[in-house]
Amino acid sequence: MAGADGFTKYSSQVPPVHTEERLRELRKLLNKQDGDALRIVGVGAGAWGSVFIAMLQDAYGHMRDSLQVRIWRRAGKAVDRAAAKHLFEVINSREDVLRRLIRKCAYLKYVEGRLGDRTLYADEILRDGFCVNMLDTPLCPLKVVTNLEEAVWDADIVVNGLPSTETRAVFEQIGRYWRERRTMPLIISLAKGVEASIKPVPHIVTPTKMILDATGVPDDQVLYLGGPNIASEVYNKEYANARICGSAKWRKPLARFLRQPHFIVWDNSDLVTHEVMGGLKNVYAIGAGMVAALTNESATSKAVYFALCTSEMIYITHFLSEEPERLAGPLLADTYVTLLKGRNAWYGHQLATGELTPAMGDIITGKGMIQGVSAVEAFHELLKQPSLSVIHPETKESVAPVELCPILQFLYRILIQRDLEPAGILNALRDENMYDPRQRIEVAQDKANYMPQLLSTPEKIKPTTPSRHVTGNGTVKNVESPTKPVEV
């Protein structure tokens, strides 16, 4: 059916015949018997994590005997009065939501929250279909569990919706609950973020690697899903796509299971590099928000920034992938949407206008974790290592790779060192030496500069060494780096 804008409006669900076939296929692969429901659990209830689980609930929730969907989030996070007031306005602007809450006898608590007579909590409102990081987009009601062990102990599929900076700690706890399990679940990670570990060789630590080390789940049962999409728009049925990466045995049936008319899921075998690219684009999205604010949304300035930042991303990609051309399309698409309307670009804009400061940390009320901050620290830490030296195209001297990434360097000074104001990012656009970013790409295109060790620890070296990431309050702490190599 065509809407007023001339575009076809998709139905809210995949046709029942398709959902039944896809669920039947997945149940068979997981050896589920009649009467034994397939259990899917979301861990973490940020915007994308909540939307992902809500989409599954929308599509498959009517098949309760065959599939159960639930989500875990920590209890105790209060919704402040300003957010409660805004939520009340959203509820009253949506007749369908208003009627649903009245039928559930839940409307009164939102009235009391609006008046300041009652404190609402994030897990409480999530049960009614509201994500604290995305109040403007009501979801379907979800089954929320606040006890982590209860949530995951018998799960068949676990969806990691946690920030990368929380993934390791939470999955180490989950791993302890699974010690007695005879078979391990599938894990789909949505996290976009990385850590850097410098010893025994400089390498990147991704969320799927953290999960593998923390839980002992077999390598082929951990997958990554990412793509150019905005959570609220996906739930509102705007056309979107994603890519699920991992072993062929699981990624193909999962891609079919997750696919909906408005949400197309492709599949790919290259898990780690897609996962790393998902973290990389968040770095440059912060700078894009800064430039937009500082230049009064100048199209010319934003275009210059886009040319420079994409050249840096291509440069970094060539170090990480033997066939970077395969990543070019997805990487640019994901970058484009993140620069247009992502929380990292919003964060950069707020920094440039003075609404926020780096000292406030990277966990922002109403937005959640700003993943790009820790990614800036990780990529800078990795690429400044002299052992990864390249030849500078102008001086012909051996330099650390970060020397050819001026935007990354300025973001590091603004966000991590904090010795430069956000306006300093504009200096990365003003190249007094007429240094063509094309030369940066040419340096990276030399196949001799491909560094597979950046995505893995050599098989023969397995000590535990500290890696570093930025915590929510902006401080840097050590964490244990992985000891098992990642397949590239």
Q: Write out the H or E segment, with its range, that includes residue 40.
A: strand 38-43
Annotate 343-374 with b (16+ C-beta within 10 A) or e (fewer): bbbbbbbbbbeeebebeebbbbeebbbbbbbb
Residue 371 near residue 167 (C-beta atoms within 8 A) = no
Backbone phi, psi, residue 265, to 5°: -115, 120
Annotate 103-129 with b (16+ C-beta within 10 A) or e (fewer): eeebbebbeebbeeeeebbbbbbbebb
Rounded to whole angstroms, the Cα distance separating 249 from 251 reads: 6
Q: Where do we find the tokens 């300041």? A: 116
Half-sphere exposure of 453 (CA within 13 A, CB side): 15
Q: Is 104 a catalytic residue?
A: no
CA-closest candidate to residue 200, choices 487, 483, 488: 483
Residue 267 near residue 245 (C-beta atoms within 8 A) = yes
Q: Write out the H or E segment, with its range, that includes residue 186.
A: strand 186-189
DSSP 260: B
Give counts: helices (H), strands (E), the chain.
Answer: 18, 18
Q: Torsion over CA of 425, 426, 429 and 431, rounded to 10 degrees?
A: -100
Tokens found for residue 88: 């009340």
Choosing from 109, 281, 367, 384, the catalytic residue is 281
Among all residues, which ones are annotated catalytic? 281
